[in-house]
Amino acid sequence: MEYLKNFIDGAYHAPVSGQYMDNVNPATGEVYSQIPRSGADDLTMAVNAAERAFPLWSRMSVNERSAILLRLAAGIEVRMDEFVMAESRDNGKPEKLAAHVDIPRAVSNFHFFATAIEHFSSESHYMENVGINFTTRRPIGIVGCISPWNLPLYLFSWKIAPALAAGNCVIAKPSEITPYTASLLGNIANEAGMPAGVLNILHGTGPEIGNEMVSHPKIKAISFTGGTATGQHIARIAAPMFKKLSLELGGKNPTIVFPDVDIKQTVKEIFRSSFSNQGQICLCGSRIFVHQDIYEAFKIAFVDWVSSAKVSYPADPNAQIGAVVSKGHMEKILGYIELAKEEGGRVLTGGVRVHLDAPYHDGFYLAPTVIEGLSNSCRTNQEEIFGPVVTIMPFAEESEVLAMANDTKYGLAASVWTKDLNVAHRMADRLEMGIVWVNSWLIRDLRTPFGGMKDSGVGREGGWEALRFFTEPKNIFIKHE
Ligand code: NAD
């Protein structure tokens, strides 16, 4: 059995308490490694190391910092296969997905911020006959990055790359459900020439080490991605300490299909937006609204496509749906399917656990599920399920679908499918979401602001937004003689 370690001050350390917890392979249901259950003592070591490293790292030339981060990106790239298999084993996702999305994107995140920092600039404001203001943007100090299990290395690197590029020392915690790829980063950081103490990676549970990080007075900013309830908890602790907070939280995203679309093509795209990564992407559309004129035709084609999707073990090159991340999460999703039935929903396809042949018979597989007959206001359509479950509902008017799409506490993302540019513009303008895709889904440009409105979060990641978050602006005014 492999025992993962914390990465502190440039070296791997067992947790001070000596306590570990199980790490399960969702594809088989078996425990395959042990994770440190870190606590306050581990955090003290990490904070001390980060404090020592900060003067060197924050004053290092941008070129040097950039070069180290580029080598880190390259270090992941040369171990692509190892990372792909580790991510898939930890999370249950098809290897194909990890190979095409997760790990290449982690490489891009480091690459992007390593180069973005070289172009990052600050403003000056000249006052005629008075003087000049100029603004500096300096790193904050020690920052905390906490990430979820659905896109483990992808979202972990999305935070630590800009934090490091901006000159901060980082204490980062991957999800305890998927810690493995983050644990590989320590060696790569050392090989890249990153000074000891700049990047520290602690493992363990949210209520234990996560909470310690959020509460620690020397950690000046928290960048968090995860559930809305956890985000609320973190805000309650961090706000009175005046920490900078970036919160990327849950969603209940609408997918809106107008009657002028090519049904066959759109069905394929909406299969992807609904069920990629087993529906465990914060951006997946889980409420599909289809115009009444094409509702029946779309529904038949969609259900046909979804019911023929291959649910299989992650190493199967033909797997379209892998395992969901844990037994607990699988049971939560099945519970929501039961709730949907109680609320009057009809399961058109899926709705059940799938048992594969040995050695995968105890893995956490669910058939992709489509449910109709529900109102937008029911719990199934208001609460985040975060699994391979979507509902489908007809609409008659643009104003009606807009009202339903916005009628949720969340405001993360939407996709709109139409050939009519006027409809697309009107909808995009009026949807209360941080991200709107038209005739597409999850096409990402790393320069764009990423995040949600309402209960989907506070602040934005990506591009300059991330570099601004991880720096402290200071305005300096110099008076003319
Ligand atoms: P989660 O909130 O349970 O956990 C996320 C991280 O926070 C984990 O590392 C966890 O250990 C840690 N954590 C938990 N309790 C904590 C506490 N009290 N203090 C500090 N840290 C704590 O979320 P999850 O189940 O891992 O992920 C799924 C959720 O993440 C979904 O709601 C999904 O929508 C959301 N998500 C959002 C985005 C986005 O960009 N908006 C992206 C991916 C996932």
Domain match, 419 and 290 both = yes
CA 122 vs CA 117, 348, 464, 474: distances in Å: 11, 54, 11, 10
- Is 182 buried (19+), middle (13-18) or exposed (0-12) by CB count in 10 A? buried
Q: What is the CATH number of the domain that holds 136?
A: 3.40.605.10
Pairing status of strand 369-372 against strand 346-349:
antiparallel
Q: Let me know whether 245 and 158 are in one domain.
A: yes
Low-confidence ranges of the chain (pLDDT < 50): none
| Ligand 1 atom with minimal separation from the 251 CA | 34
Pocket test for ligand 1, best of 102, 173, 175 (most atoms within 8 A of CB): 175
Whether residue 293 sits in one domain with residue 165 = no
Residue 187 burial (CB count, 10 A): 13
- Residue of minimum CA distance from atom 8 in ligand 1: 175
Residue 345 lies in a domain: yes
User: Residues 328, 351: one domain?
Assistant: yes
Same domain, 148 and 89: yes
Decide whether any atom of ligand 1 lies within 6 Å of the 53 Cβ: no
On whether residue 19 sits in a domain, the answer given is yes
Any ligand 1 atom below 6 A from CB of 250: yes
The CATH number for 431's domain is 3.40.309.10
Other CB atoms within a 10 A radius of the CB of residue 167 amount to: 22
- State which ligand 1 atom lies nearest to the alpha carbon of 457: 41
pLDDT tens digits, one per residue of 371-392: 999 999 999 999 999 999 999 9
Beta bridge partners of 366: 353
Number of domains in the chain: 2
For residues 53 and 83, state if they share a domain.
yes
Q: Which two tokens stand for residue 19?
A: 């306590």
The answer to whether residues 438 and 463 belong to one domain is no
Kindly state whether residue 450 falls inside one of the protein's structural domains: no
Q: Is the CB of 411 under 6 A from ligand 1?
A: no
Q: Which residues are catalytic?
A: 248, 282
Q: Please give the distance, rounded to the nearest whole angstrom, from the Cα atom of residue 84 to the centre of ligand 1.
A: 22
Q: What is the predicted pLDDT for the residue at 154? A: 98
Q: How far apart are CA 249 and CA 230, in angstroms?
A: 9
Question: Does the Cβ of 326 fall within 6 Å of ligand 1?
Answer: no
Distances (CA, A) of 384 to 176, 242, 443: 21, 29, 22
The reply to whether 451 falls in a domain is: no
Q: Which two tokens stand for residue 249?
A: 């939280």
* 90 and 150 part of one domain: yes
Ligand 1 pocket, residue 212 CB under 6 Å: no
The letter for the amino acid at 398 is E
**322: in domain:** yes
Residue 457 Cβ inside 6 Å of ligand 1? The answer reads yes
Q: Which of 212, 230, 246, 389 is the pocket-test mutation for ligand 1 (most atoms within 8 Å of CB)?
A: 230
Task: Give the number of the atom of ligand 1 that is nearest the alpha carbon of residue 211.
Answer: 19
Residues 191 and 291 in one domain: no
The CA 458 to ligand 1 mean position distance, Å, reads 14
Is residue 321 located within the same domain as residue 352? yes
Could you give the residue ranges of the DSSP H alpha helices within 365-406? 379-382, 398-406
Please give the residue range of the domain that contains residue 384.
Answer: 253-445
Q: In the prediction, which pLDDT does 322 show? A: 98
146 CB less than 6 Å from ligand 1?
A: yes
Co-location of 239 and 268 in the same domain: no
pLDDT value for 439:
98
- pTM for the full model? 0.97
Q: In this structure, are 210 and 321 located in the same domain?
A: no
| Of residues 142, 114, 177, the one with CA closest to residue 364 | 177
